[in-house]
Structure 1
Amino acid sequence: MNNITHEFRYLRSLLNGTKKLHKLKSGWKTSYLLRVLGAYLVLDLALNLIIGYPLFTLLEDYYDTYTEVLESPLEWLIIGVTIVPLIEEIIFRGPMTLAKKNIKATQWLFWLLTIAFALVHITNYDFDIIPIWAYPLMVLPQFITGILLGVVRIRFGLRYSIILHSAFNFVLLVPETIWNQS
């Protein structure tokens, strides 16, 4: 069976509650694994587009308050694709190693860290302008990304969630960097 099809069937069974989240058995070839990670990237981008675009349209004035930390878009691209994913994955997915043996603890930790990952991204915006009711909506795309990164972390390992996070940031930041250079 196609590994991508197998993985999406597994995700569907997670959503409907017929399976529990668990580490993938070893033995996958690197080429298959990279294809599955590519499929996760496409899924993440698609879900973020489907959910993010209507939110952006609804809350456009609030998204315009996005604060840039660095002056140079190229610096932001390099840091956003290398350092930020590494640090965020160690902080928000790394602790899942502590609960490895206990399925219940892993589930609680998974959701706690996913919510924390989403909420930390509210700091990207200006608190003085955004009403508190909009906070959960503003970080819904990061929540979705956090779920997928968490699944990848548990299924394949921390290094693969770092790679996926870097790839996701790369896809989002390159067009923004090019746009800001023009």
Structure 2
Amino acid sequence: MNDARVEKPMPLLRFLRRPALNERAPEPLTLWPWLGWVCLLLLIGFAGGALDGALIRLFGWTVPPNSFQNYLLAHASWKAAAIVVVAPLLEELGFRAMLSTALKPVFVGLAFFFTYTYVLLHLNLMHRLPAYGIAHYFDVFWVLIPACLASLLLYRYAREPVVKLFCDHGVAIFWVSCILFGAAHAAVYSNHLAWWAFILAIPQFLLGVLLASMRVRFGLRWSIATHYAIDSLVVYGVWLYLVVARDSVVQHGLMLAYLGIGAFVVVYGLVALVRVARGRW
């Protein structure tokens, strides 16, 4: 498989018609286009958040005050900050590291995928509240031990069939990864996985599709960097705004900075959207 020919990256919309997994990313990504992808994802996130708010008001859905999203944003702490630092890396390893046909990414990714699948099922089936999930978030590393053993056994005894599965059914694996990533974020809005929470998680599904396409086309490091950029800007931005004194010079300065960043995100995000629509990206 090491001598497999790697194709050049194709435009996003053409790629999504039939995603093909590769051993290596077809082409490196540079900083300025990467910022365009970040802005596009943020723009989709902002638009999705606005649409979610409209749906909540229209249908009277109730997002609990102690939902994961509300709790995380309203309760800044060192542990929560550590989660924001670690979560993008773990989620990329759990949902997207395996989107490859190379041995190492597949089996390392499977270990994290098994871990995330178990943890999400455990938290949701046990109806754990967000405070519990945040307090015990790093328990995931204990689950990682048996998950690594399971992946190691697959590598030792079923290496070729597993890799063949990823080569032959890369399209299905790609979309299953995206769907599970979106479904996992339904818990952000509801503590008991109400059916409408999955509708509200559609923006996260779309973000997952774009992150997965970046991982396959440009490499795992770029999807990790993008995930970090999005989570950090949103969560740390909200925390910073909430902790400063109200109506202070600092708060007004932050508001101006956020407006400037928001304007840049909208403009460059729209530019990126046009380039995607025209098949240039």
TM-score range for the pair, normalised by the shorter chain length: 0.7 to 0.9
The residue type equivalent to 1:34 in the other structure is L
Q: Sequence identity of aligned pairs in percent?
A: 23
Name the CA distance, whole Å, in 2 between partners of 1:171 and 1:46: 13
Q: Provide the C-alpha distance between the structure 1 equivalents of 2:73 and 2:235, rounded to a whole number of angstroms.
A: 13
2:15 corresponding residue in structure 1: 14
CA distance in 1, matches of 2:194, 2:75: 29
Q: What corresponds to 2:121 in structure 1?
A: none
SS in 1 for 2:99: helix
Counterpart of 1:73 in 2: which secondary structure?
Answer: coil
Match of residue 136 from structure 1: 198
Cα–Cα, structure 1 residues 70 and 170, in superposed 2: closer, same or farther, change >3 Å?
Answer: closer
Residue aligned with 1:94, SS? coil
Alpha-carbon distance in 1 for matches of 2:170, 2:227: 20
RMSD: 2.9
- Does residue 177 of the first structure (1) align with residue 177 of the second (2)? no
Q: Which moved more, 1:61-70 or 1:86-95?
A: 61-70
Matches within 5 A, 1:1-182: 10-14=11-15, 17=17, 20-21=19-20, 24-26=25-27, 28=28, 33-59=30-56, 62-63=62-63, 65=65, 66-67=67-68, 68=71, 72-75=75-78, 76-80=80-84, 82-97=85-100, 98=106, 104-128=168-192, 131-132=194-195, 134-182=196-244
Q: CA deviation at 1:72?
A: 4.9
- Give the Cα separation in 2 of the matches to 1:135 and 1:54: 13
Deviation at 1:83, TM superposition (A): 0.3
Amino acid at match of 2:32: R
Task: Indicate the structure (1 or 2) with the bigger Cα radius of gyration.
Answer: 2
Where do 5+ consecutive residues of structure 1 fail to align?
1-6
Per the alignment, in what secondary structure is the counterpart of residue 59 of structure 1?
Answer: helix
| Contact residue 77 and residue 177 of structure 1 kept, 8 A | no
The answer as to whether partners of 2:96 and 2:220 remain within 8 angstroms in 1 is yes
- Partners of 2:30 and 2:64 lie apart in 1 by 37
Q: What is the count of residue pairs matched by the alignment? A: 167
- 1:53 is displaced (CA, Å) by 0.5
Partner of 1:3: none
Determine the C-alpha separation between the residues in 2 that align with 1:179 and 1:108.
42
In the TM superposition, residue 104 of structure 1 has moved relative to its aligned partner by 4.5
SS in structure 1 of the partner of residue 11 of structure 2? helix
Change (3 A) 1:87 1:79: same
Distance 1:58 1:116, change over 3 A: same
| TM-aligned CA distance change 1:11 to 1:70, over 3 Å | closer
User: Shift in Å at residue 13 of structure 1?
Assistant: 2.8
Contact kept? 1:73, 1:180, Cα under 8 Å:
no
Find the aligned partners of 1:174 and 1:58 in 2 and give their Cα distance: 26
Residue type of the alignment partner of 1:127: N
Q: Hey, what's the Cα distance between the residues in 1 that align with 2:171 and 2:186? A: 24
Give the equivalent residue in structure 1 for 2:251: none
Aligned AA for 1:62?
Answer: T
Any conservation in 2 of the 1:14–1:21 contact (CA below 8 Å)?
yes
The AA in structure 2 aligned to 1:158 is L
The question of whether the paired residues in 1 share the 8 Å contact of 2:21 and 2:99 is answered with no
